[in-house]
Amino acid sequence: MIIIYHKNNKVVELKGSDFNSFGLEMNLSLSAFLFDLAKIYPDELLVWCHENVKEHLNISEIEKLFHHKKMLISYNPSISQFLNKSIGYVEQSPFIKVNSEVMFPTWQMSSCVGAVYSELLLSLKNKKSLDVNFDYFLCSLAKLAMPKGVLCYSEPKLLKHKIDFKNNKSNRYTLFRFVKQHYKFRWIFLLFLNLFLYERKTSLFPFLFSLFYKNRAKNFDLNFDNPYLIVDKKSIYGYSLDVIIPTIGRKKYLYDFLLDLKGQTFFPTRVIIIEQNPISGNISELDFLTNQEWPFEILHTFINQTGACNARNIALKQVTSDWVFFADDDIRIKSNFIEETLKKINDLGVKAVSLKCIENEDDSNEDTVFQWITFGSGSSFVFSECLKDSEFLKGYEFGYGEDVDFGMQLRNRGCDILYFSSPKILHLKAPIGGFRTKPFLKWQNDTVQPKPSPSVMLYLLLHFTKEQNLGYKTILFFKYYRLQNIKNPFSYFAYFKKQWSRSRFWANELNKA
């Protein structure tokens, strides 16, 4: 491990075992120096630390934070990020509102303190964009690398304790440049519009200035042949697994899925089935649960109440195993599905994954892993310790957003969610089961119908920044303008504001549920 102490974007001190600075140009920008250091020491963990926080660097813990080499971590103890909060007008992902109290997935890196393996830097095919501003370089690298499978985190354990730190901040010129270089072209127009609408800022020159920069995503690639460096690999056969399945009126589909579980090379310990039937006096239709033998324990709960959120919450209270597989009742899996998934989880040292769902069998052999923006409540594995005090909020029942909300609960507990493209889940998209009636929504008789759906608005209020919320509002306005009957844009805007207001009202009501 080599530690680079820096100030004013220049190296001031180097520390590490068995190395010297021979051949290194100390007056280079910090980003260029980092790459030169990586070339000389291709197997080292490179750590950067601002001179002002030198005494607070948690040196003994740094190497333990890396489960493998395909990681990039940093920490910003300041309350503000390098790119100002207006980036929320552009990006709607969970990576903007960073929880600095826990390890949190984000591409918003910091020059304050951080670390990366030399091998990752050397795997970059295009090394031309070595920005002089080190914060900009780190954010750019992480933004481009995350979709390629590099795991990027804000990690408070890099420092021994909380400190006050004055973070570098970007201006609007830098913000527009970043958007132009890392997002689709239309986003600089939306950023310009949102800044004018909501902050009354005219950003003509930053907008024009950004047009001279090219998008970096088109030429970015990684050539990383050795992505894993296992720190604490265990045998998966020491794990236990509970499978959670809410079901309603899909007897045949559930039976087929149980047969898939029965044929696994790695058996679940228990299968927790919550059967819903709203008709009082009816009894369970799942006779095969008791008249057939299964190689796992089945916990079957029959309730006269519908709603997937409620059903999954009942199941969560019955979990006792190390891992939980959140499953739908109309999916099919291959015989090695559980074993292969647990092995990949074990290799990567992660605690939550969502798997790719397909509607038709395919022959694709892709094996993509990256940090995901949502969560699949019917296609995910989660380490059970991460589920303590988590629940599917009742406000989302019969609406939209319970999956992404649950994912945010996990992230805010320090549990990142990865996406696996393999092994795959075949989702049959079965017809709606029996006993289902269209739920009565409290707002369905309102004269002004809320937009977006109040459950979607609930998620925006709970997990988005103010700027992300307003950026979503602008996009929604344009998205639905052509789909409604009011063609006068001024009349439509006035009506849309009323719809947005009603949505916020009902979202706050749902939050009380």
Per-residue pLDDT of the chain (513 residues; tens, 9 = 90+): 999 999 988 888 888 856 565 567 777 889 989 998 999 898 899 999 999 999 999 999 999 999 888 999 999 999 889 999 999 999 999 999 999 999 999 999 999 999 999 999 998 866 656 788 999 999 999 999 999 999 999 999 999 998 888 888 899 999 999 999 999 999 999 999 999 999 999 999 999 999 999 999 888 888 776 555 555 556 677 789 999 999 998 999 999 999 999 999 999 999 999 999 888 888 899 999 999 999 999 999 999 998 999 999 999 999 999 999 999 999 999 999 999 999 999 888 899 999 999 988 776 777 889 999 999 999 999 999 999 989 999 999 988 899 999 999 999 999 999 999 999 999 998 887 655 667 778 898 899 999 999 999 999 999 999 999 999 999 999 998 888 888 888 899 999 999 999 999 999 999 987
What's the confidence (pLDDT) of residue 164?
85
What's the confidence (pLDDT) of residue 359?
86
What's the confidence (pLDDT) of residue 27?
76
Structure tokens at 71: 């990681």
Q: Please, are residues 67 and 231 in contact by the beta-carbon 8 Å criterion?
A: yes
Residue 216: name the closest of 180, 188, 242 by CA.
180
User: Rounded CA gap, 102 and 38, in Å?
Assistant: 29
Q: List Cα–Cα distances, 235 to 238, 239, 320, 342, 385, in angstroms.
A: 6, 8, 19, 10, 18
What's the confidence (pLDDT) of residue 234?
66
State pLDDT tens for residues 90-116.
999 999 999 999 999 999 999 999 999
What's the confidence (pLDDT) of residue 17?
59
User: Rounded CA gap, 272 and 247, in Å?
Assistant: 11
Residue 331: name the closest of 309, 356, 312 by CA.
356
All residues at 6 or more sequence positions from 151 whose CB lies less than 8 Å from its CB, including other chains: 70, 71, 72, 105, 371, 416, 418
pTM of the model: 0.92
State pLDDT tens for residues 33-49.
999 899 989 889 999 99
What's the confidence (pLDDT) of residue 184?
95
What's the confidence (pLDDT) of residue 233?
59
User: Rounded CA gap, 393 and 327, in Å?
Assistant: 18
For residue 46, give the 3-state DSSP assignment: strand
